Amino acid sequence: MQRKLLPNSKSLFDSARKVIPSGVNSPVRYYAPYPFFVKKAHGSSIWDVDGNKYVDYCNGYGALLLGHANKNVIRAVKKQLAYGTLYGAPTEQEVDLARLISKLYPTMKKVRLMNSGSEATMTAIRLARGITKRKKIIKFEGCYHGAHESVLVHAGSAHNSISISDGVLNDFARHTIVVQYNNIEQLESVISKNNDIAGVIVEPVLGNMGLILPEKNYLARMRKITKQHDVPLIFDETITGFRMSIGGAQQYYGIKPDITTLGKALGNGFVISALGGRNDIMDQLAPNGKVYAASTFAGNPVSVAAAISTIKTLIKSKSKLYTRLAKYTQEIVNAIDDIADDLKIAHQINSIESMFQIFFTSSPVFDYASSKKSDTKKFHVFFHYLLKKGIFIPPSQFETAFLSSSHCEADVLKTIAAYDQALRMVR
């Protein structure tokens, strides 16, 4: 396939490689031979520096639930900018935001604001170890919880974990046990045989291994097992928070975790995350507790203003918004499925609410191992064909496509037509 010429992006990438490692500030932004560079974005669309317009389904990897440059969020941010950008002291708005979160997420009785999903999950794990006085954390193969030592691991032999990054000491990896997602028997076996489990951390719906859904009653059984063994359950809702429902995956599935992390859609593109849980758990955080967590930018007034506006906008529109997003997603998924069937292309499509992903494999995708059976080379070519047709999805097979409130029926029809042509080119 001949790549659409993007001379300005290529020039910028050549310059970037001289001053930025690999030319990008996050590995997921790179794809061969080079990524397009963004000029601007608005609503459901994004424009590159060569003047090309794309319907955006990368969507800030799920952060932009209200779309790019949402007028309510931008208005709130502009208002705050006139009052300053950083104080190093608490504000009334931080209290207002914590109350809003607690109201929508009853399991988050108290909330500590932070800056990123990685920071929130790192603190959640430290908190779990602090309250239990145990060492080991259980995570699930294929779940992504940020770029810190306790979770940059994958499964080895006999539940021994191996670091996936140079620079992470084996001492960290050996305290993280990796088990298969959707394998409840394995989880129960590991917990019952080990009395040193400080916590279980999970993406309730996996958004970083493509899109993988929990099997029926899987999360409920996980909650039951962790309660029976007095093991804190951490829901990493960095992606699913506000996106699956206004109360996240825990509201959607009716599960009450002990600790929750939020991010991405919380600030609709602004840098903010949150950690929350029961009073007795959260009260262990410093300064009154002995579990240390601190940040100069935590509760940044600009990001807090964006988050408050985002949540209030979602509350106002939730009765129609989530229904419309699910409808558009299902339209796209049904059309892609029919087209791929007609073309006799081996495929699986996983979807839920405003998220979807296609896998080029004949086998159902329900965990890490099954997702790895998909044809990633075909996906790479497919991604580039979609770009040529003005559709931007995450460049990796192991990410998820997201809709926003800014997507409209015209976007859906253009997307279906682009998928049709791209599928014909890769069959």
Among candidates 362, 381, 358, which has minimal Cα distance to 370? 362
Q: Is 256 a catalytic residue?
A: no
Q: Is 181 a catalytic residue?
A: no
CA–CA gap between residue 409 and residue 37 (Å, rounded): 27
Is residue 200 within 8 A of residue 223, CB to CB? The reply is no
Name residue 352's beta-bridge partners.
355
Q: What are phi and psi of 46, to 5 degrees?
A: -140, 140
Q: Of the residues 144, 252, 322, 385, which is catalytic?
A: 144
What would the two tokens of residue 348 be? 């699986």
Q: Is 144 a catalytic residue?
A: yes
CA–CA gap between residue 336 and residue 328 (Å, rounded): 12
Is residue 119 within 8 A of residue 147, CB to CB? The reply is no
Q: Of the residues 48, 236, 258, 367, which is catalytic?
A: 236
Q: Of the residues 57, 136, 139, 264, which is catalytic?
A: 264
CA–CA gap between residue 68 and residue 74 (Å, rounded): 10
Among candidates 90, 41, 96, 104, which has minimal Cα distance to 70? 41
**Catalytic residue IDs:** 144, 236, 264
